[in-house]
Amino acid sequence: MSLAVKYQRVESLAILLAAGAFYSSQGFNILLFFLLLMVVDISIFAYIWGKNFGNHIYNLFHSYLVPAGLISAGVITHHRLLLSLGLIWAAHIALDRTLGYGLKEDKGFYYTHLGRISQKKNK
């Protein structure tokens, strides 16, 4: 694993902890946090329609752009649901990246910007 990937994984852990701490500090329901944490992975079903489509949908759902927008809108408008959903979504992405699951590359599902996902060590 390269030094850059190690930094990105530690950075993701920091985002995960920050999102969780901010979520908790707002008095949001912790059970809801854990129930919704993995909902974003429903995007994996997009692979039914092919590798390229699946990669695009998976990456869209695993980019910080949408959760950052939800968090920003929630903070600006004081809309607690938007804020909580954005924090849960960001926490999911951060958890995935902490574990080494990155954005999908064109080569296929097992190739990410953080390296190849495999049961064996990355080669």
Q: Where are the beta strands (DSSP E) in the chain?
A: 104-105, 108-112, 115-116
- Please state the rounded mean pLDDT for residues 12-18: 98
Residue 2's pLDDT is what? 86
Range of the domain at 41: 3-116
* Assigned domain for 7 exists: yes
* Assigned domain for 121 exists: no
Residue 119's pLDDT is what? 52
**What's the one-letter identity of residue 7?**
Y
User: CA dihedral defined by 57, 58, 62, 66, rounded to 10 degrees?
Assistant: 10
Burial of 90 (0-12, 13-18, 19+ CB in 10 A): buried
User: The pTM is what?
Assistant: 0.90
CA–CA distance, 26 with 57 (Å, rounded to integer): 30
Residue 110's pLDDT is what? 83
* Assigned domain for 122 exists: no
Q: Binning pLDDT at 50, 70 and 90, where does residue 122 land?
A: very low
The rounded percent of the chain whose pLDDT value lies above 70 is 96
* Assigned domain for 123 exists: no
Residue 14's pLDDT is what? 98
Q: Which residues contact 14 (CB under 8 A, 6 or more apart)?
A: none
* Assigned domain for 97 exists: yes
Total of domains in the chain: 1
